[in-house]
Amino acid sequence: MEKEVNKRTNPKKYKNPYLMGVLLGFVLIAAFYFSGRGLGASGAPKRVMAAVVEVVAPQHAEKSEFYSKYVKSARGPWKDWLNFEVLGVIIGGFISGTLSGRLKVKVEHSPKITSRKRLAFALIGGILFEYGASMARGCTSGAALSGMAVLATGGLVTMFAIFGGAYLFAYFFRKLWI
Amino acid sequence: MGPLIPQGIIGPEWDFIIALLLGIGFGYTLEAAGFSSSKNLVGLFYGYDFVVLRVFFTAGATAAAGIILFDYFGWIDIGRLYVQPTYWGAAIVGGLIMGLGFVTGGFCPGTSFTAASIGKIDALVFVGGTFVGSFLYGETYPLFKNFVNSGNEGGIKVYDSLGMSRGFFTFLLILIAVGMFYAVPLIEKRVKKPDY
């Protein structure tokens, strides 16, 4: 009985991972069924950044072999499938966070490090992750997960490299987490 | 028969609405499974929480098997689905850089968006980092252009690479996933979960 109450009121209670996995699998199938493609994430900052560079330095953006791919695409860097999907990711996360009472402005970090250190490494991690994703043509969502759905060799190779790399480097950054 | 929008069965004006709805489903499942906390995510690399492995492989196996079923029933033209091209060198080097980003930043791009949406400042800073990373990549692209564009093998499939049928490989994938689901609690039991 006590356990039952705890289950309902504890805001930290997450949903069953296998149930969420099946649900995410259905979302992924729906993405292929409707739009013929998988889910993604890292492609949105890339396009937004290309749009920003175009505003700030239009000649530079057009000359750059990298930005020009997005700036000169048929519908431009803003009107892109991935940008709308990522907007949805933010809304979906917010809905779940609201329903389970997890909305809270905070810096989550191990008590062994300061929040400043956590934020510095979060910035470094964001830079590295996006850099690697641009190189590998997709991140954990666009390359690894969507790649597994269609069994793309490149997606699975990227998946092994991401998780393998993380295990390889984990020891050196253990003090950030444990 | 799907995919509906690329074949013009439903109009292109639906593409962004569907992208938004799919994103909501994606973000909801990530947050509800606990992916809005880097503590839960990096547990995979230190052995105290394998929720990432559970969700990731359940989703991947469900989708791989689902797409085969959709093809079997004639609901989807499997040949028209986007398959990312394989560039071995870029996939491996890019993946390793992402791995380093994962253990330093504690998120991946998708999970950082969901975590930022519920108020995690660390995630918001990670998102800021993704913009900086895009910019740095854009500026250094000429240096690595030859490398990242070399060895394009096109949209090859892993079952072809391994000389198996699509169905058999998917069956193996499910077996491996279920095997891991039984194995990881043995590790979790031995490793202390950090208390914060």
If pLDDT is split at 50, 70 and 90, which confidence band does A11 have?
Answer: low
pLDDT top residue among B78 and A12: B78
Residue B158 has pLDDT above 90, yes or no: yes
Amino acid at A36: G
If pLDDT is split at 50, 70 and 90, which confidence band does B196 have?
Answer: confident
Length of chain B: 196
A107 CB contacts (<8 Å, ≥6 apart)?
A115, A118, A119, B120, B121, B122
Region A136-143 average pLDDT: 96
One DSSP character per residue, B129-155 reads HHHHHHHHHHHHHHHHHHHHTSSB--S
Region B99-122 average pLDDT: 98
Between B27, B39, B157, which is nearest A92 by CB?
A: B27
Min distance A80 CA to chain B CA atoms (Å): 8
Residue A2 has pLDDT above 80, yes or no: no
Task: Report the distance separating Cα A38 and Cα B84, nearest Å.
Answer: 10
CA A120 to chain centre: 19
Task: Report the distance separating Cα A3 and Cα A71, nearest Å.
Answer: 55
% chain B with pLDDT above 90? 96
Per DSSP, chain A holds a count of helices (H) and strands (E) of 9, 0
Provide the pLDDT for residue A156: 97
**Closest chain A CA to residue B4:** A34
% chain A with pLDDT above 70? 93
Residue A12 has pLDDT above 80, yes or no: no
Min distance A5 CA to chain B CA atoms (Å): 19
CB-based contact B58 A24, cutoff 8 Å: yes
Min distance A11 CA to chain B CA atoms (Å): 11
Provide the pLDDT for residue A75: 86
Provide the pLDDT for residue A74: 82
Question: Which tokens is B41 given?
Answer: 């995510």
- Tens of pLDDT, residues B49-97: 999 999 999 999 999 999 999 999 999 999 999 999 999 999 999 999 9
Residue A6 has pLDDT above 90, yes or no: no
Mean pLDDT of chain A: 93
CB-based contact A165 B132, cutoff 8 Å: no
Task: Report the distance separating Cα A42 and Cα B85, nearest Å.
Answer: 17
Provide the pLDDT for residue B11: 87
CB-based contact B29 A53, cutoff 8 Å: no
* Residues A167, B45 contacting (CB under 8 angstroms): yes
Residues facing B2 on adjacent strands: B76
Residues of B within 8 A of A100 (CB-CB) are 32
Task: Report the distance separating Cα B182 and Cα B196, nearest Å.
Answer: 27
pLDDT top residue among B124 and A9: B124
Q: What is the ipTM of this complex?
A: 0.97
Nearest to A67 by CA among B68, B146, B138: B138
CB-based contact A15 B46, cutoff 8 Å: no
* N-to-C CA span, chain B: 49
Q: Give strand ranges (E) for B22-180.
A: none
CA A92 to chain centre: 13
Angle at A64 between CA B102 and CA B154, to 5 degrees: 60
Residue A64 has pLDDT above 60, yes or no: yes
Provide the pLDDT for residue A73: 85
B16 CB contacts (<8 Å, ≥6 apart)?
A79, A81, A84
- Tens of pLDDT, residues A109-127: 999 999 999 999 999 999 9
Q: What is the dihedral of CA B21, A51, A72, B110, to 10 degrees?
A: -40
Mean pLDDT of chain B: 96
Min distance A123 CA to chain B CA atoms (Å): 5
Q: What is the dihedral of CA B37, B136, A62, B94, to 10 degrees?
A: -70
Residue A8 has pLDDT above 70, yes or no: no
CB-based contact B94 A135, cutoff 8 Å: yes
If pLDDT is split at 50, 70 and 90, which confidence band does A7 have?
Answer: very low
* Residues B170, B61 contacting (CB under 8 angstroms): yes
Provide the pLDDT for residue B13: 86
- Tens of pLDDT, residues A65-107: 899 989 888 888 898 999 999 999 999 999 999 999 999 999 9
Min distance B189 CA to chain A CA atoms (Å): 16
Region B132-144 average pLDDT: 96
**Closest chain B CA to residue A79:** B16
A35 CB contacts (<8 Å, ≥6 apart)?
A81, B3, B4, B5, B6, B15, B18, B19, B22
Nearest to A40 by CA among A52, A53, A27, A51: A27
CA-based R_g, chain B, Å: 19
Interface test with B, best of A62, A68, A140, A156 (most B CBs within 10 A): A140
Task: Report the distance separating Cα B152 and Cα A140, nearest Å.
Answer: 20
B156 CB contacts (<8 Å, ≥6 apart)?
A152, A153, A154, B83, B86
Task: Report the distance separating Cα B51 and Cα B55, nearest Å.
Answer: 6
Residues of B within 8 A of A28 (CB-CB) are 59, 62-63, 66
Q: Cis omega before residue A11 (within 30°)?
A: no
Provide the pLDDT for residue A60: 93
One DSSP character per residue, A59-86 reads HHHHH-TTHHHHHTSTTTTTS-HHHHHH
CA A15 to chain centre: 20
CB contacts under 8 A, B 4-63 vs A, are: 4-6, 10, 14-34, 36-40, 42, 44-46, 48, 51, 54-63
Residues of B within 8 A of A39 (CB-CB) are 22-23, 26, 110
Angle, helix A81-99 to helix B15-32, in steps of 10 degrees:
40
